[in-house]
Amino acid sequence: MLKNRDISGPEIRWDDFIRTDIALASGPVSRNSALDLHDEDPPNVLPPSAPQRAVVLVGMPGAGKTAIGRRLAARFGLPFRDADTEIESAAGMPITEIFARYGESHFRAGERRVITRLLAGPPLVLATGGGAFADPATRAAIKSSGAVTVWLKCELPTLLRRVAGREHRPMFLNADPAVVLQRLMTTRHPFYAEADLTVTCTDESPEVTTRRVQDAVEGAKPPQRLPVGLGDRAYDVVIGPGLLARAGGLIAPVLPARRVVVVSDASVAAIHLPALRAGLEVAGFHVLAEIAVPPGEGSKAFERLQDVLEQMLGAGLDRRTAVVALGGGVVGDLAGFAAAVAMRGVPFVQVPTTLLAQVDSSVGGKTGVNLRAGKNLAGAFHQPRIVLADTDTLATLPARELRAGYAEVAKHGLLQGPLWDWCETHGAAAVAGDIGALTHAVLESCRLKAAVVAADEREESVEGGRALLNLGHTFGHALEAEAGFDGTLLHGEAVAIGLGLAASISARLGHCSQEWPSRVIAHLTACGLPARIGDLDRRFTVEALMGRMAKDKKNRDGRMRFVLLRGPGDVFTSADVPAEAVTALLWDEGAVG
């Protein structure tokens, strides 16, 4: 224990008087750490396994962090610490005196050291002071420790009842507690929203709240995070359920300001915009504008781009305002291109809501619009700051959209190898809406694409690289463009046909066995996708398709380039594909003269 000493110098030296046992969660309890369970019987049986990481409780004064924390620690069989008590014990004076003598900034620095040391030890339950998680450095230290953070969220009336009798505390001296608490809620709630879990606390008993917190911690399944390694422009792809409701807390750490413009399409906005809006508002975001475009590929046009830009700028967008794309690949490409050119580039966030966008278009920074000459011929590389792939949104997709998105999963399977084996076994479950299969498809597709993008961001590799992600797309883009982007042929459907054609031309040129075209086509057909040109209701001429492919953006020196395969996991690019071989294939697969 700290002995009496002279600490009246110019500053507190926290490292001198932080006790060594503070870093050891299994060490002696502090004066406020003994379990006070006078109004609750200890549970007879502890959970079979306590959390393998610390649990940190954050929230307003009066939220019950200490009372709930003690009970929660007892239920988990973990030590409990109260950060404020540890600081007072270490400093030998109350926090109010530390504030008065040395100021808040010095207190926050010491608080951060105490919390960091506590979290460096074995797992424990830690109750923090009301301002701790609102401090950016302390918040970052808690997150980097790997602890699970829980916001005990209380409404103002509940807090007022709980802080009654605390008028002697400095924050309430000569002030209306309601005014003080409302001000603190306004400033702190946006930071509390970055916690991993939120548990709303009411006037129920502490035992009931503790059980709900315990259930939340035990049932929590952290979203998967896949890094896209691009140096100082690196970002995470976050995959999991319930991300729209947490959007503000997830994107705030990577943006320069809590100010956004949301771009969606009318269909998606009607379903998912309310949840996104609520998730942004709880984290203190100001939504300058919500811009909805018509659904479908037709919105990827210069005229629509100009309209979106005018609305953004008219709403007050500046260089610290982020553009949030909520929707499928069309919205992501359009909003991303708008973000790339508005004021020569503003921050960008992808919130894909379709399978196709989650597994492919939202990752990698390709943005653009279509021209009459072809698909995606005007655009820019503009990487997002983060991608939030909320798998709950997949449950709202029409069956046709889900199947179309699966075509990109099958493409990734052919690129990767083992994923193709998974596709043949589980693809039918994925297109039937099985959430486990869909989550796996998104995760593994993003894992593949993140690695490819990190190695060849701008598709500059002479051979292979990012160009391999275009397997089936030379044929598919030609079909889409010839269809006029009118919605009668979805991008994923065109890709599915393109995959069958890519496998077929590979076999005809002797690069793979004759087994693979039939195997690829059979799998896609079994998943409800068109796999041959002849499967479509409309007719396409060989001449028109060849003309479209001659203008493909992957071509070099006037020569068409194709992505070919020797087998799953063995894919390559080639310009040595005779035009007559492509023409013959198109004829055989259902194109007309």
List, as residue ranges, the binding site for ATP. Answer: 62-67, 169
Q: What are phi and psi of 510, to 5 degrees?
A: 85, 15
**Distance of alpha carbon 478 from alpha carbon 473, whole angstroms:** 8
Residue ranges for the known binding site for Mg(2+) are: 66
Q: Which of 568, 561, 565, 553 is nearest to 582 (CA)?
A: 561
Active site residue 459: yes
The token pair that represents 233 in the structure block = 């422009």
Active site residue 183: no
Query: Bridge-partner residues for 574, per DSSP?
Result: 562
**Catalytic one among 75, 300, 412, 473?**
473
**Catalytic one among 403, 466, 508, 523?**
466
**Catalytic one among 491, 508, 523, 548?**
491
Active site residue 491: yes
Residue ranges for the known binding site for substrate are: 84, 108, 130, 188
**Catalytic one among 112, 162, 470, 511?**
470
Residue ranges for the known binding site are: 62-67, 84, 108, 130, 169, 188, 329-333, 353-354, 366, 375, 393-396, 408, 473, 491
CB 384 within 8 A of CB 237: no
Beta-carbon neighbour count of residue 209 at 10 Å?
Answer: 23
Active site residue 449: yes
**Catalytic one among 70, 117, 300, 477?**
477
Strands 322-327 and 286-293: unpaired
Give 374-378 contacts, CB < 8 A, sequence gap 24+: 374/477, 374/478, 374/481, 374/548, 374/551, 374/552, 374/553, 375/477, 375/480, 375/481, 375/485, 376/300, 376/333, 376/477, 376/553, 377/551, 377/553, 378/302, 378/337
**Catalytic one among 71, 75, 81, 366?**
366
Active site residue 19: no
Active site residue 221: no
Strands 366-371 and 374-381: antiparallel
3-state helix, strand, coil in the chain (%, to 5): 50, 15, 35
Active site residue 86: no
Active site residue 408: yes
**Catalytic one among 194, 444, 459, 480?**
459
Phi-psi region of 233 (alpha: psi -120 to 50; beta: other; left: phi over 0): alpha
**Catalytic one among 449, 508, 511, 561?**
449
**Catalytic one among 194, 290, 401, 408?**
408
Residue ranges for the known binding site for Zn(2+) are: 408, 473, 491
Beta-carbon neighbour count of residue 48 at 10 Å?
Answer: 5
**Distance of alpha carbon 368 from alpha carbon 378, whole angstroms:** 5
The token pair that represents 445 in the structure block = 């597709």
**Catalytic one among 3, 38, 221, 344?**
344
CB 55 within 8 A of CB 147: yes
Active site residue 523: no
**Distance of alpha carbon 159 from alpha carbon 140, whole angstroms:** 27
The token pair that represents 542 in the structure block = 């060989």
Residue ranges for the known binding site for NAD(+) are: 329-333, 353-354, 366, 375, 393-396
CA dihedral 565, 567, 568, 574 (to 10 degrees): -10
The token pair that represents 428 in the structure block = 């039918």
Active site residue 297: no
Q: Which residues, including other chains, have CB under 8 Å from residue 463's CB and lie 6 or more apart?
A: 572, 573
Helix (H) or strand (E) holding 505: helix 491-508
**Distance of alpha carbon 210 from alpha carbon 70, whole angstroms:** 9
Cα atoms in the Cβ-side hemisphere of radius 13 Å centred on 561: 18
Active site residues: 344, 366, 408, 449, 459, 466, 470, 473, 477, 491
